[in-house]
Structure 1
Amino acid sequence: MGPDFFHRALRAIAILGAGLVAAPAMAEPSHGIAMYGDPALPPDFVSLPYANPDAPKGGRLVSGNVGSFDSLNPFVQKGEPPWQLRYLTHEALMGRSYDEPFSLYGLLAESVETGPDRKWVEFTLRDEATFSDGTPVTVEDVIWSYETIGTEGHGRYRGFWQKVEKIEATGPRSVRLNFNTEDRELALIAGLRPILKKAQWEGKEFSQAALADVPIGSAPYVVANYEVGRHVTLRRNPDYWGNDLPFRRGTNNFDEIRIEFYGDDAVMKEAFKAQAISYVRELNAERWATQYDFPAVQSGAVTLSEIPQGTPSGMTGFVFNTRRAPLDDWRVREALILAFNFEYINDTLTGGRQPRITSYFSGSELGMRDGPATGRVRELLEPYADTLLPGALEGYTVPQGDGTKRNRGNIRKAMDLLNEAGWTVENGELRNAEGEPLSLTVLLQQDGLLQQASTYMEIYAQALERLGIDLKIETTDPAQYNEREQNFDFDLTFFRRAFSLSPGNEQIYYWGAEYADIPGSRNVMGMKSPAAEAMIDTMLNATSREDFTAAVRALDRVLISGRYVIPIHAYAVGRIAHLSDLKYPADRLPVYGDGIWFLPEVWWSEASEQ
């Protein structure tokens, strides 16, 4: 499995490189589209390369979610829906292959066409495409979906709509979008917008949909029943229009997917041990190594699978809210990073099994290189030299401790930086020139993504106490946490951004100044960097491999030297504990490895063969 996976990863990266060198214009409708060059799969492909086209249909999968839900509409701002619905019950015009950096293939659309500069894109619908109620998907539905979701839908969809100059029907089954912005990625993003049924919403306010107003989709699964706070059950539509589509062959194999809700992660894990749910993902390598030897594993009823990842590390850690003083001072942020004794914490909590993230795109060809910026990367950054923080051009390395509990060397460096920033210790407390103490609050969510976050912060608080800094830990329920995070009511909080091999428009939402002060923005740290925005613009309009890769590496330097996040673990391997009758194509793993789409999309139940 290992050699095959890495050969596939190298092949996918080679495809990206070859495509970046030349980006020929699409002269006629095509079965697919890639960010650069042509998609890897031919028009007559049999199935996605990581799917088993002979996988049996049938069986039942039970997922576990922590928390609850009060909505079944994943496309509006109102309410909290189960996150799975967005991927299992609705489709877009195109579908993504996770074995390529960024390629789309026809789903509701049979073909896509775009101009040489990609200022427009046109899709032609499949004649056989229907919604789950059997009614056809029409151009009218497509236009309504783009307009409505783009203006009344969740904030994640609105940025794209602002870049659409015009959308219009160009034939009985074709629709064209013209863009008002130079951005090569928009043609692909357009293909990924969800398509809903217009007639369902006549006389109703889409943004204020009630719980019972489940949007009608065209995907393989439909909501069969639910009980608020307990479960949502999805059933595979036997009349699904795309059953024979090559893009769908070997995918969506379970007859039923039931999502059970639990009050906390510990209870959910116990439910899995009792085989009440079908699988769990484990993020902690130490727990994976030491706590997954329970009876069901020993008997063979449960299998432990590791799925290699071929994507950038992304960033996981604790983010600073730079809207608040003194966190707007990079010296204070650097001091706080120095005081975070990762080596000791990592050894204590994971047995040192998980490596640290070294930059936002580390572990991939897109990650910054060690040492000073050179060549095209330096050329891109130098016009912004006056706005860059120390290390962007010269080279920046995340501080490393000595592995001891006291971490003396880094604590001394931290104190020097704090003194330089105007903070001194008085009677055991760190105070500024006005005599105000340095007190910080870290906001955490109960049973958040990283379950040991509170322990991290408890150890960290002890280190900060040695500097005279008081760190308060506030843990809230998901609803309170979401409200406070959206209103930037924190000093530090847990942070995770996952990246693909084709970073694009999402980067401006993460780091763009125009989003820094908008409640609910994904620019959680509140950064405002002209250099970062210029690098993103270069990425989006690059027509050569050199420019694209250089721009991402330059952006990586701006982000990591900005000291916006205390980095923690890299997750280079997906760890899934699952019932042993659940299978996946282990001999054809995608370059993207494990993801929210991987299970259940290409898994199947061996019990259904019996």
Structure 2
Amino acid sequence: MYGEPTLDAGFTALPYANPEAPKGGKLVVGNTGGFDTLNPFAQKGTPPWQLRFWGYESLMGRSWDEPFTLYGLLAESINVPEDRSWVEFTLRPEARFSDGSPVTVEDVLWSYETLGTEGHLRYRGFWSKVAGIEQTGPRSLKITFNTEDRELALIAGMRPILKKAQWEGKDFAASGLSEAPIGTGAYVVSDFEPGRFVTLSRNPDYWGADLPLRRGMHNFDELRIDFFGDQTVLFEAFKAGELSAYREFNADKWNSAYDFPAVTDGDVVKSEIPHQRPSGMTGLAMNTRRAPLGDWRVREALILAFNFEYINGTVTGGIQPRITSYFSNSTLGMRDGPAPDEVRALLQPYADSLLPGTLEGYALPTSDGTKRNRRNLRRAVGLLAEAGWTVQDGVLKNADGQVLTLSVLLRQGDAEMKTIVEIYARALDRLGITITPELVDNAQYVARQSEFDFDLTRFRRDLSLSPGNEQKLYWGRAGVNQPGSRNLMGIDSPAAEAMIDRLLTSKSTDDFTAAVRALDRVLTAGRYVIPIWQYDKGRIAHKRQLAHPESLPIYGDRTGFFPDVWWYQPE
């Protein structure tokens, strides 16, 4: 995107991969909930989330040690003009699907159009910016864009490529469990049982095994995903030796709950993986489509009533730091205090639509860590009164006599967030507000989030060091009323929209950083989420036979590192 790739044309392997890693062994991981489709690219259904990463490839691939840099994968070369108004790819002649058939330009053209029109919403935004796509040679194609957006040339290289012939006479969007799409990746679905497991086997004839971008990766012969009703049962399965690895998100539990025999005997190892990526946002999203959550004063009151210091101490032992903004913990995060000149200049044209604190400076409230949280609750009472909500007969009501009651949509088995909400409910009760957790099964959870049928819900957005078009999907105005959009909060902000456009057209790192920091201010001061704690490092407990390189990518343990560059080391 800016400057030059770090790796030169003669690189032999990614810097965080071990090209000498042995092949073999089996990795078993656990998911909660279930699945009702093996097609991770369709909008309908809930697939195992790992499928789209483990079995499918695109024209270009990432190095997780470099933001905003891609290298050729299915494509052997990329041609792009200075203004990035189009991009041309030439396919590698050796590129193959898992059934051994060659990847053709026709497959690529079909994949782009099908995903752009019938695929998951995350693929459709790109297609709307394509003016034309055409074959330019036996192994080459050209995509022309209708929008000024410097990231599009990179996004074009990241669409999964599927086999056209597989879907002739079939409904791609409704494939369900009938079959998994044929891909080009190192793994293929070899067995499954609905609600119980999915097994992927490494393709011994995988076409890309010797590519520098793939050397030292995909080392396990078999990857298996087992499904459990909730996280507690999943953890017990790991303790019993049924799973190979377990990712822990609670620092207190990491320090206190890993004293079972397999750990003390050395059969299970605890690995901590540092990273440099943004905190992203985790917490309780507030649905601004529903009154009174459309009023920022009510949202701010709910944030004030959320006694983070006390809840964090109770749930995580107070170890994990709080998320302070969407891009906190990185160079892209907004800075404390008033907006600096370069950020203010970007936001000033939208000053009339900005919420208090965006330009002046906004910080999440803090408490003294005690249970009472009196000072913040007093401030919350004042804001609620300004918004027309006062305590009448022990409950909070507005002028029409409506009672302020809220529910939190949670997935069954989400014990941690259920505990958080239960503690939070006791504080809200002192304000005359009733809030209750509503636990539903996986299918209902996905359906209700898709239809925005909730007051509050658990929210998690991983954000990268290279934010781009996905920001439209997360916070764009087009998603406010679009079922299935990832704009769960219903953010409708002209300033946010403009900052996303700005970062997509920036031509220097400084301009790009200013645009992201401005966007961070708009989102954070928008009071759309009640943030909880950062996942400041990766925590993976695993069988001692599992190993990873000592060199770690700046993105840490996210998908692309585990299990991609890990291996099984026989004793």
Provide the aligned length of Structure 1 versus Structure 2: 571
The residue aligned with 1:27 is: none
Q: How does 1:391-540 map to 2 (within 5 A)?
A: 391-448=357-414, 451-540=415-504
The amino acid across from 2:487 in the alignment is N
The amino acid across from 2:409 in the alignment is L
Answering whether residue 172 of structure 2 is matched by residue 172 of structure 1, we say no
Cα RMSD of the aligned pairs, angstroms, is: 1.0
Q: Equivalent residue of 2:562, what SS?
A: helix
The residue aligned with 1:345 is: 311
Alpha-carbon deviation of 1:596?
Answer: 2.5
The residue aligned with 2:556 is: 593
The residue aligned with 1:546 is: 510
Deviation sequence 1:15-45 (CA, Å, 0-9, x none): xxxxxxxxxxxxxxxxxxxx21221111110
Partner Cα distance (1:83, 1:480) in 2: 17
Partner Cα distance (2:561, 2:110) in 1: 30
The amino acid across from 2:467 in the alignment is P
CA contact (8 A) 2:32 2:234 kept: yes
Q: Equivalent residue of 2:185, what SS?
A: coil
The amino acid across from 1:366 in the alignment is L
The residue aligned with 1:604 is: 567
Q: Equivalent residue of 1:598, what SS?
A: coil
CA contact (8 A) 2:197 2:226 kept: yes
Q: Equivalent residue of 2:530, what SS?
A: strand
Alpha-carbon deviation of 1:213?
Answer: 2.1
Q: Equivalent residue of 2:144, what SS?
A: strand
Alpha-carbon deviation of 1:128?
Answer: 0.6
Partner Cα distance (1:241, 1:442) in 2: 47
The amino acid across from 2:509 in the alignment is R
The residue aligned with 2:212 is: 246
Answering whether residue 182 of structure 2 is matched by residue 216 of structure 1, we say yes
Partner Cα distance (2:265, 2:436) in 1: 45
In structure 2, list runs of 5 or more residues that go unmatched.
Answer: none
Q: Equivalent residue of 1:600, what SS?
A: coil
Answering whether residue 53 of structure 2 is matched by residue 90 of structure 1, we say no
Deviation sequence 1:148-184 (CA, Å, 0-9, x none): 1111111111111111110101100001100111101
The amino acid across from 2:54 in the alignment is L
Partner Cα distance (2:292, 2:180) in 1: 46
Answering whether residue 353 of structure 2 is matched by residue 381 of structure 1, we say no
CA contact (8 A) 2:78 2:89 kept: yes
Partner Cα distance (1:528, 1:230) in 2: 40
The residue aligned with 1:61 is: 27
266, 273, 277: which one pairs with 1:300? Answer: 266
Partner Cα distance (2:521, 2:44) in 1: 37
The residue aligned with 1:227 is: 193
Partner Cα distance (2:278, 2:162) in 1: 33
Alpha-carbon deviation of 1:514?
Answer: 1.4
The residue aligned with 1:153 is: 119
Deviation sequence 1:116-166 (CA, Å, 0-9, x none): 111101110000111111111000111011111111111111111111110
Partner Cα distance (1:472, 1:460) in 2: 10
Q: Equivalent residue of 2:563, what SS?
A: helix
> What TM-score does the superposition give when structure 1 sets the normalisation length?
0.92
Answering whether residue 142 of structure 2 is matched by residue 142 of structure 1, we say no
The amino acid across from 2:565 in the alignment is V
Q: Equivalent residue of 1:248, what SS?
A: coil
Q: Equivalent residue of 1:268, what SS?
A: helix
Partner Cα distance (2:160, 2:43) in 1: 15
Q: Equivalent residue of 2:213, what SS?
A: helix
The residue aligned with 1:266 is: 232
Alpha-carbon deviation of 1:440?
Answer: 1.0
Alpha-carbon deviation of 1:210?
Answer: 4.3
In structure 1, list runs of 5 or more residues that go unmatched.
Answer: 1-34
CA contact (8 A) 2:422 2:436 kept: no
Partner Cα distance (2:229, 2:428) in 1: 32
Partner Cα distance (2:271, 2:111) in 1: 39
The amino acid across from 2:560 in the alignment is W
Partner Cα distance (1:482, 1:425) in 2: 35
